[in-house]
């Protein structure tokens, strides 16, 4: 049996040797809730094309929506068949929570209601939190042991906490919420400001909640230039922009997209959810951190027991909060706003 590194070297010397027989992993089950909705429709082909878990990872997609959306959900299932996706090894489309969560290895929880123009994400608590109480029970009873969960539905940090409280047997480390969209928005704003490619910018951070109280922080971000990798602060040379316009633009980007589209961000949310899961499961690139909403362990003075967005690195399917890089202490008030000292 050849090791992976030998196979990779062989593939780079003579790609035709491996082209016809890619070495595939065993299929895994991935649940998407709210699969008939906007983000659901964008994300299922991404997952089935390997953008979330890798080009060598076959998947069985489990799709859940509410009974009223059963026809639309069936339409999504038909389109997945029609797309003839080689990594897609099966589809379960259902309106039954127990069936949806049965044996899943990964769960991307998008099901819930989006905000409309003029609302804050916390205005969704009454509607969406009830969904997460009910799905916590299904997660705990039916998912595979060690199932890794990403909560996307708003208010994402609160829904993640509800899930954790009502599924006490699920390790808190396995529940996360999406702030990667805000992180990617921060990288995008910096890249536009500097006129560089977004792939050359890294290590921004989004601290806090996925809400307008979040704090996008470019203090440790860097960008690759023809003169090597340099601090963004030095390249931008405009502290006022970094501490004012940049912060507000990222905080308010969801509202700006909603104003333009008349509905909330979908393709960027789906893409960010794939980035979040891929980095968590397959690891972050060396020297790079990303933002994830995780269960606080008290790092940086953030209270224990809340879901909060930190800079993290990931290895072998586990995230760790970046330590020792930031000389700051966070104080979080009851609205979720952070002040730094
Ligand atoms: N964290 C983030 O960065 C981020 C980004 C964008 C959107 N969101 C949030 O994601 C959620 C989904 O957004 P969308 O644009 O896809 O909304 P959408 O209304 O288009 O789709 C939501 C889907 O969820 C379904 N649903 C409702 N209750 C359900 C339940 N109990 N079980 C399963 N499915 C259920 C609905 O029927 C609908 O099909 C919203 O709460 C939105 O605010 C979060
Ligand atoms: O803004 C919203 O309500 C949707 C989402 O949270 C976003 O940030 O785009």
Q: Give the span between the Cα atoms of 297 and 174, in whole angstroms.
A: 14
pTM: 0.93
Mapping DSSP to helix (H, G, I), strand (E, B) and coil, where does residue 338 land? Answer: strand
Query: Closest residue (by CA) to atom 4 of ligand 1?
Result: 152
Q: Token digits for 273?
A: 């959810």
The answer to whether 60 touches 29, Cβ cutoff 8 Å, is: yes
Q: What pLDDT is attached to residue 187? A: 98
CB 336 within 8 Å of CB 210: no
Nearest CA to ligand 2 atom 2: 254
User: Number of C-alpha atoms within 13 angstroms, CB side, residue 275?
Assistant: 20
Expressed in angstroms and rounded, the spacing between residue 334 Cα and the centre of ligand 1 is: 26
What was the pLDDT predicted at 324?
83
SS3 category, 150? strand
> Which residues lie with the beta carbon below 6 Å from any ligand 1 atom?
33-34, 36-40, 64-66, 69, 110-115, 131, 152-154, 156, 178, 181, 210, 264-266, 269
Ligand nearest, relative to CA of residue 183: 1
What is the number of alpha carbons within 13 Å of residue 198 lying toward its C-beta?
A: 8
Counting atoms of ligand 1 from 1, which one is nearest the CA of 131?
A: 31
Q: At what angle do helices 70-82 and 38-48 cross, to 10 degrees?
A: 30
Give the distance (Å) from ligand 2 centre to CA of residue 223: 27
pLDDT given for residue 260 in this prediction: 97
Which 3 state secondary structure label does DSSP give 110? Answer: coil
User: Ligand 1: which of 39, 100, 182, 274 to mutate, judged by most atoms within 8 Å of the beta carbon?
Assistant: 39
Question: From the CA of 72, how far away is ligand 1's center (Å)?
Answer: 14
The three-state secondary structure class of 283 is: coil
User: What pLDDT is recorded for position 339?
Assistant: 83
Contact partners, residue 226, CB within 8 Å, separation at least 6: none
Residue of 31, 32, 33, 34 best suited for mutating to test ligand 1, as the one with most atoms within 8 Å of CB: 34
pLDDT at 99: 98
pLDDT at 289: 98
What span, in angstroms and rounded, lies between the C-alpha atoms of 87 and 28? 11
Omega within 30 of 0 (cis) for the link into 155: yes
Per-residue pLDDT reduced to its tens digit, 230-263: 999 999 999 999 999 999 999 999 999 999 999 9
Which ligand 2 atom is the nearest neighbour of the CA of 269? 9
Domains of the chain by start residue, with CATH: 28-177 (3.40.50.720), 180-340 (3.90.110.10)
Look at residue 127 in the predicted model and tell me its pLDDT: 84
Q: For a substitution probing ligand 1, which of 150, 264, 272, 290 has the most ligand atoms within 8 Å of its CB?
A: 264
Q: What residues are in contact with ligand 2 under a 6 Å CB criterion?
A: 114-115, 121, 154, 181, 254-255, 257-258, 264-265
Question: ipTM more than 0.95?
Answer: yes
Q: What is the predicted pLDDT for the residue at 336? A: 76
Half-sphere exposure of 106 (CA within 13 A, CB side): 23
Compute the distance between CA of residue 120 and CA of residue 117 in angstroms, rounded to an integer: 9
The tens place of each residue's pLDDT in the chain, 341 residues long, gives: 455 555 555 555 555 555 555 699 999 999 999 999 999 999 999 999 999 999 999 999 999 999 999 999 999 999 999 999 999 999 999 999 999 999 999 999 999 988 888 888 888 988 888 899 999 999 999 999 999 999 999 999 999 999 999 999 999 999 999 999 999 999 999 999 999 999 999 999 999 999 999 999 999 999 999 999 999 999 999 999 999 999 999 999 999 999 999 999 999 999 999 999 999 999 999 999 999 999 999 999 999 999 999 999 999 999 999 998 877 778 888 777 888 77
Q: What per-residue confidence (pLDDT) applies to 27?
A: 98
Name the residues annotated as catalytic: 210
- Over residues 153-178, the pLDDT tens digits come to 999 999 999 999 999 999 999 999 99
**Closest Cα to atom 1 of ligand 2:** 254
């Amino acid at each position: 049996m050849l090791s992976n590194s030998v196979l990779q070297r062989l593939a780079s010397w003579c790609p035709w040797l491996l082209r016809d027989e890619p070495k595939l992993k065993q299929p895994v089950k991935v649940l998407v809730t709210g699969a008939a909705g906007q983000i659901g429709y964008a994300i299922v082909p991404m997952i089935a094309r390997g953008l979330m878990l890798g080009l060598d990872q076959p998947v069985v997609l489990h799709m859940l929506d509410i009974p009223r959306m059963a026809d639309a959900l069936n339409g999504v299932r038909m389109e997945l068949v029609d797309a003839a996706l080689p990594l897609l090894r099966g589809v379960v489309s259902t309106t039954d929570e127990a069936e949806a969560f049965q044996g899943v290895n990964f769960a991307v929880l998008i099901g819930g209601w989006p905000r409309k123009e003029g609302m804050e994400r916390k205005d969704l608590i009454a509607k969406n939190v009830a969904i997460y109480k009910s799905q916590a029970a299904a997660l705990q009873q039916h998912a595979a042991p060690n199932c890794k969960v990403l909560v996307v539905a708003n208010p994402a940090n609160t829904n993640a906490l509800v899930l954790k409280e009502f599924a006490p047997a699920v390790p808190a480390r396995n529940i996360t919420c999406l702030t990667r969209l805000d992180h990617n928005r921060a990288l995008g704003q910096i890249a536009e400001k500097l006129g560089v490619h977004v792939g050359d910018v890294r290590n921004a951070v989004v601290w806090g909640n996925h809400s307008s109280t979040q704090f996008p922080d470019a203090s440790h971000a860097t960008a690759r230039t023809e003169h090597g990798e340099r601090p963004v602060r030095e390249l931008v040379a405009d502290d006022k922009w970094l501490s004012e316009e940049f912060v507000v633009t990222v905080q308010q980007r969801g509202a700006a997209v909603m104003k333009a589209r008349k509905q909330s961000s979908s393709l960027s949310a789906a893409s960010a959810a794939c980035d979040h899961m891929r980095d968590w499961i397959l690891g972050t690139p060396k020297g790079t951190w990303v933002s994830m909403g995780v269960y606080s362990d008290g790092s940086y003075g953030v209270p224990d027991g809340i879901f909060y967005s930190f800079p993290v690195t990931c290895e072998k399917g586990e995230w760790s909060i970046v330590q020792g890089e930031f000389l700051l202490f966070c104080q979080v008030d009851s609205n979720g706003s952070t002040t730094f000292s």
